[in-house]
Amino acid sequence: MLLKLRELSQRKMFDLLSQIGIENFIGVPDSTMKYFISQGLKKKKIIVTTREDEAIGIAAGMSLSKQNSLVFMQNAGFANSISTVTSLIQLYEFPIVFLIGWRGYLKDDAPEHYKIGRIQPKLLKAIGIDSKIITDSNLKECCKWAMNKINNSIPCALIIKREFHD
């Protein structure tokens, strides 16, 4: 099993984002980023919700309290939340970082992920959310890019490709 975003990188990413100003991590677990979540759980900084849009709502409430939040989810959950992204996050201009696991990136991923996986980049583009794909080598740059967006009050997304099978 080869992960492009290895365990160590995922853990580092959590620490890095915490250091540079993300205070809250809320979302629905995804195996693509399980080490990221495990690092957050270890530091008691994760809130697990029942659905992705619920996590986005909580993050918006924290943003009203002038705190920076990241919402993590699988792309299937992102697709579920599009109306929340447009009618809450973008409408009120809440600066939130989305961390999205890209299922269906591999052509032979499970069939339920195929269609959303194929249109994932177009979907983000269509609703106007800027995104970057994180790898082992551009980790720091991506985190800084996301923080910069947040500091300019713009929501954005970081994507982790699912490059392995269970």
Where on the chain is the footprint of another protein (CB under 8 A)? 47, 49-51, 53-67, 69, 83-84, 86-88, 91-94
Q: Which is nearer to another protein, 59 or 157 (CB)?
A: 59
Q: Which is nearer to another protein, 66 or 165 (CB)?
A: 66
Smallest distance, another protein to C-beta of residue 31, A: 21
What separation in angstroms does the CA of 147 have from each of 8, 34, 111, 123, 132?
Answer: 21, 22, 34, 22, 12
Q: Which is nearer to another protein, 91 or 110 (CB)?
A: 91
Smallest distance, another protein to C-beta of residue 140, A: 28
Smallest distance, another protein to C-beta of residue 96, A: 11
DSSP characters over 17-53: HHHTT--EEEE---GGGHHHHHHHHHTT-EEE-SSHH
